[in-house]
Amino acid sequence: MTYFPTEDRGGTTIITLTNGERNTLNPDLLEEGVEAMRSLTDNPPEAGVVLTGAGQHFTCGMDTKVAAALDAAGQKRAVAAINAFAASLHRLPCAVVGAINGNAIGAGGIMALACDWVIAAQGDYKIGLPEAKAGLPFPAVPQAILDHWLDPVWRRRLALSSHLLNPAEALTAGLADELCMPDQLLDEAVMRVQALNGQPGFAACKRQLRAKANAEIDGIVSSSS
């Protein structure tokens, strides 16, 4: 069973992160995700990518029990996998819309920032970056994504306080771009990604917009390989 099942909807690839009740992350999942993103980079979908989570959560971030059980080699592998996954998501050349269906915690917040547009379902759940509280400092690539795509004031507030936001607060902070009803989330995300990707200059503008961040990220990945 794949952690990243896909569905084609009118030329848009919908990727659904799937791992148990809370969609937590682990090295095996992240490494599979890297391969999935690289495949999409080599063959971008005609009408972009929508990334969402299965069930009631987007992702609750790293599985803390798995992380606590890792030895030194396992920890190094996990950090490398996080960096590679975040980098490969950030590098996708087509439009990417994050469809946040529930809790997007830690790495979930980074994944949202790596998307071109984020639609959050209205509901009673949280979005945020509680790495300080979890005792898991940001790896280098997630930190670069934070530095480039989150307003400095909110970056300071969220990274140092571990405060979690509801969807409306996430909209104000820049972790989401729009809200919608939960039963309309995927339909709205597909409509949005197709509108973005359908612009003649979208790919070129995205390349320009991300050039500095991608250069920094490429340097991080190459220096750690």
User: Tens of pLDDT along 27-45?
Assistant: 999 999 999 999 999 999 9
Residue percentage of the chain with pLDDT more than 90: 91
From 13-17, 68-72, 75-79, 188-192, the region with the lowest mean pLDDT: 68-72
Q: Quick check: is 1 in a domain?
A: no
pLDDT at 74 over 80: yes
Count of domains in the chain? 1
Q: What is the pLDDT of residues 111-161, one digit of tens each?
A: 999 999 999 999 999 999 999 998 889 999 999 999 999 999 999 999 999
Distance of alpha carbon 159 from alpha carbon 30, whole angstroms: 22
pLDDT at 194 over 90: yes
pLDDT, residue 63, reads 84
pLDDT, residue 85, reads 98
Domain span holding position 136: 6-224
| CATH classification of the domain holding 209 | 3.90.226.10
Q: Quick check: is 169 in a domain?
A: yes
pLDDT, residue 99, reads 98
Which residue would you say has higher pLDDT here, 145 or 67?
A: 145
Q: What is the pLDDT of residues 137-151, one digit of tens each?
A: 999 999 999 999 999
